[in-house]
Amino acid sequence: MRYRDNTPLVLDGLNLSIGSGQTVGIVGRTGSGKSSLGMALFRLVEPAGGTILIDEVDICTVALEDLRTKLTVIPQDPVLFVGTVRHNLDPFDSHADEALWQVLQRTYMRDTIILLDEATASMDSKTDSLVQSTIKDAFKGCTVLTVAHRLNTVLNCDLVLVMENGKVVEFDKPEVLAEKPESAFAMLLAAENKALL
């Protein structure tokens, strides 16, 4: 994926499979391609090549409205569109008020891929932990991709994707990567822990 014609690729040669219902933490330094991956999933930028399959369907063969109504993103910066809260929750007016009140009471989305793009980056650690616990409960059974600002956010994920320069550096269980001192993930953890001291 590239942002404009004749510019360098920001995602290059990614090849990975995420199982249904898995949680994947996506980490890497600024500019590594973490958020670009989310932009590719939502087709905010069309791929320069390759294929992204969700449930064996090439996302480029699906109408944008169909694709985007099946995915959910919780962005780093909260966004509200002009209009009512109801319109922000249900812009196509396809749900009854009772359903929206239930959503407001408890966020629960089944059969959805959730992308959390550093959603808790501006929160303190204690609030971050509370939000992560709620997300784990509310999105149980969903496929969840979490772009992480703090590495402790991804320690309980099924898998961790470490990115650098738009490429996959590592893709494995967090405990496996953390136990390898030479792994990029272990080095990121060590640097974060050192910064906290």
Question: Is this structure's pTM higher than 0.85?
Answer: no
Question: pLDDT at residue 108 above 50?
Answer: no
Say how far apart CA 3 and CA 20 lie, in whole Å: 29
Q: Are 154 and 175 in contact (CB under 8 A)?
A: no
Higher-confidence residue of 89 and 176: namely 176
Q: Are 70 and 113 in contact (CB under 8 A)?
A: yes
Tell which CATH classification among 3.30.420.40, 3.40.50.300, 3.60.15.10, 3.30.70.20 matches the domain 23-80+110-196: 3.40.50.300
What was the pLDDT predicted at 111?
43
Q: Are 161 and 178 in contact (CB under 8 A)?
A: no
The two structure tokens encoding residue 176:
């496996």
Q: Where are the domains of the chain?
A: 23-80+110-196
Say how far apart CA 197 and CA 159 lie, in whole Å: 27
